Amino acid sequence: MITITPEKLFSFEDYLTYDDGTDNRSELVDGRLEIVNPPTIGHMLIAKFVANVLEAEIARVSLPWMCFQETGVRTGFRKSRLTDVCVVSREQARELVNKSAVFETPPLLVVEVVSPESVNRDYRYKRSEYAAVGIPEYWIIDPILKKISVLRLDEGLYEEEVLTENQSLVSQTFPELNLTVAPILEAGNLT
C-alpha cells in the first residue's frame, strides 16, 4: 500500500513566519511556496537605479512616501509576491516596522525587472494580481526586449503604455518625474 502525503498548503500567516533555514526567497502562490531565483547583477543594478531615482523624487517633492526593494505584497487569500521596487506611504511602512516586510494594503507603485525565468510571472500573473488588489501603477522593465511597460489602473484593469529608447516615462504617481527609458535600461550594464 502506498501512502500519499498531501502537500502542505501555507496560510498567509504561515508564510509571514516561514523559515526553512536557507537564504531562499519565495512567493506564496495559492498556498504553495515557490522559490524565486536570485536576481542577476544587471537586474539588481536596474532596480537600484530606479529606487534611487524614486527616492530622490520623493525627497525633492517632499512626499510622505518611502521606496523599498525586495518587499512583499499580499495579492490574495493565500498569495504574496516579492517586488523589485515598491513605493508606499510612510503609514504603510510604519505598520510593518517590527513585522515581515509584506504589505497587505496596495503600494502606490510597484516596479518589476524582467528576467528570463520571470517573463510569465511579471507580465501575466503579477499583472492580474496587482490589478485585483488595486495597485494603481505598475512598471515592467524588460531589459531583454529593451522596453518598459507602464500600466495604470483604470476601472479594475491596467491600461498599458509601452515605451522604448528615448521615450519619456510618464507616471501618474510621480507626474513631475523627468526620466527616459534609455538610462533605466543602461543601468544594468557594467561598462
Task: Return the HEC string of 28-97.
Answer: EECCEEEEECCCCHHHHHHHHHHHHHHHHHHHHHCCCEEEEECCEEEEECCEEEECCEEEEEHHHHHCCC
Q: Are 27 and 34 in contact (CB under 8 A)?
A: yes
pLDDT tens per residue, range 91-101 = 999 999 999 99
pLDDT digits (tens, 9 = 90+) for 68-112: 999 999 999 999 999 999 999 999 999 999 999 999 999 999 999
Measured at the alpha carbon of residue 189, what is the angle toward residues 40 and 59, in degrees to the nearest 5? 90
At 27, list the grid cell: 512567493
Mean pLDDT confidence for 45-63: 98
Mean pLDDT of 6-24: 86
Burial string for 6-42 (b: 16+ CB within 10 Å, else e) reads eeeebebeebbeeeeeeeeebbbbebebeebeebeeb
CATH architecture of the domain 39-186 equals Alpha-Beta Complex (3.90)
Residues shown for the chain: 191
pLDDT score recorded for residue 60: 97
Return the C-alpha cell found at 55.
Answer: 527616492
Sign of CA pseudo-dihedral 38, 43, 44, 50:
negative
State the pLDDT at residue 1.
Answer: 53
Residue ranges of domains in the chain: 39-186
Exposure of 76 by Cβ count < 10 A (0-12 exposed, 13-18 middle, 19+ buried)? middle
Overall pTM surpassing 0.95 (yes/no): no
Residue 148 near residue 173 (C-beta atoms within 8 A): no
Specify the residue for cell string 498599458: 160
